[in-house]
Amino acid sequence: MDRIYLDHAATSPLHPSVTETIVSVMQSSFGNPSSIHSYGRDARKILDESRMALADSIGADFSEMVFTSGGTEADNLAIIGIARANRQKGQHIITSQIEHHAVLHTCQFLEKDGFDVTYLTPDDTGRITVQSVKEALRPDTILVTIMYGNNEVGTIQPVKEIGELLKSHQAYFHTDAVQAYGTIRMNVKELGVNLLSVSGHKINGPKGVGFLYIKSGTTITPNVFGGEQELKRRAGTENLAAIAGFAKAATLSINSIDEKKELYYCLRNTFIETLKAEEIDFQINGSTEYFLPHVLNISFPNTDVEPMLVNLDMAGIAASSGSACTAGSLEPSHVLVAMYGHDSQRIKNSIRFSFGLGNTKEDIITAAKETAKIVKRLQN
Ligand SMILES: Cc1ncc(COP(=O)(O)O)c(C=O)c1O
């Protein structure tokens, strides 16, 4: 059975050129970038070139980039780092109910430490309005953290407009761009953000590596202590091969961003049109105006997410619910609950399909037809 991977928002396969880069760095450059000798200098050159390429990809300066172990650590550093360093200016933080748990659980941790967090509710398309941010702002707000594109339903947030709003406020602005980076062109100066998180494994790069952009002049406390790496903002010997692979993946991704976008729109439309042709009853969750083209979240009335996923898997199709699987039970997605409420059927019957490297139009037609068959079977 040929399998079809439609879970690229969870993680994505390594691009073959990225694998080549990683292997080559592992084989030829084992030096510690902090060492003075030639082995260290060789490693430092690779580290510097990677940092430069990644900084260029978002319009940042070389010194504004901090390598981390991924999106989760970047989010933790941004939120805890800003909160601790700016406590004397205020203890209020604004975020949204639909953030990734890397943000939500970090905010909950800070609440236990005395911070006051406002969790904004999205509209039923998954959008946070600029007006709601404006209304929640207080003189003691020190941080606003709103994601760029949602990982479950794909809705894109008005990041630039929020950046504009915050220009006249003391609050720092962080955006978790883990899911949007690589599909949406972004420039930190134009967005008006102070901090931006990115992860390698969502863009056909390696897992366990990411970066946090920290605008120069931003006051932040480190979360990891030790050596003086990353200009004392994140201690620990850099994961050189992964960083080089990440930079390679980013370069490939940014260079092909327009073609990728076009392909994902086509795959998304093909999936939707095939379901329609099969006369399936379904609804799209999320915005149909502001969305990440690679994420398609669909509610299938009168089905249940667990048998849907099991049947899809048996048919060779890897998709996911937005739910976290805890101790064998599927928890309802906090994103869908925030959008539709606890009583909505959509929180029990929605599946996320996400597209990426290797998917063809033929794959999508096959996957949509199989999905339609399963939906019909389960609805009976
Ligand atoms: C929006 C978002 N933020 C953060 C993360 C966490 O990134 P990582 O897996 O690199 O820790 C993810 C990964 O699923 C994500 O989708």
pLDDT of 1 reads: 75
Note the pLDDT tens digit of each residue in 67-111. 999 999 999 999 999 999 999 999 999 999 999 999 999 999 999
The reported pTM is 0.97
pLDDT, average across residues 324-345: 80
The H-assigned helical ranges of the chain are 16-28, 38-58, 71-85, 101-112, 130-136, 159-166, 188-191, 240-255, 257-277, 305-314, 334-340, 361-379
| Cα 376 to ligand 1 centroid, rounded to whole Å | 33
| Ligand 1 site-directed mutation target among 8, 72, 146, 198, most atoms within 8 Å of CB | 72
Q: Percent of the chain at pLDDT above 70?
A: 98
Tokens of 79: 């939120």
CA distances to 100, 130, 138, 158, 165 from 135, rounded to whole Å, are 23, 9, 8, 15, 11
Compute how many other C-beta atoms are within 10 angstroms of the C-beta atom of residue 283: 13
Exactly one of 325, 341, 360, 361 is catalytic; name it: 325
Q: Are the C-beta atoms of 197 and 175 separated by less than 8 Å?
A: yes
| Cα 36 to ligand 1 centroid, rounded to whole Å | 35
Tokens of 33: 């970038």
Note the pLDDT tens digit of each residue in 166-220. 999 999 999 999 999 999 999 999 999 999 999 999 999 999 999 999 999 999 9
User: Which residue is associated with the tokens 């008005």?
Assistant: 158
Tokens of 150: 């949602």
Note the pLDDT tens digit of each residue in 259-287. 999 999 999 999 999 999 999 999 999 99
Ligand 1 surroundings by CB, under 6 angstroms: 70-72, 75, 100, 102, 147, 151, 176, 178-179, 199, 201, 210
Rounded-to-integer distance, Cα 153 and Cα 163, Å: 23
Q: Which atom of ligand 1 is nearest to the CA of 10?
A: 14
pLDDT of 322 reads: 67
Helix (H, G, I), strand (E, B) or coil at 347: helix
* CB-based contacts of 341, cutoff 8 Å, min separation 6: none
Note the pLDDT tens digit of each residue in 9-40. 999 999 999 999 999 999 999 999 999 999 99
pLDDT of 331 reads: 81
Q: Are the C-beta atoms of 294 and 354 separated by less than 8 Å?
A: yes
| Cα 72 to ligand 1 centroid, rounded to whole Å | 6
| Cα 140 to ligand 1 centroid, rounded to whole Å | 29
| Ligand 1 site-directed mutation target among 98, 202, 333, 335, most atoms within 8 Å of CB | 202
Closest C-alpha to 3, from 352, 320, 315? 315
pLDDT of 365 reads: 98
| Ligand 1 site-directed mutation target among 179, 297, 325, most atoms within 8 Å of CB | 179
Helix (H, G, I), strand (E, B) or coil at 10: coil
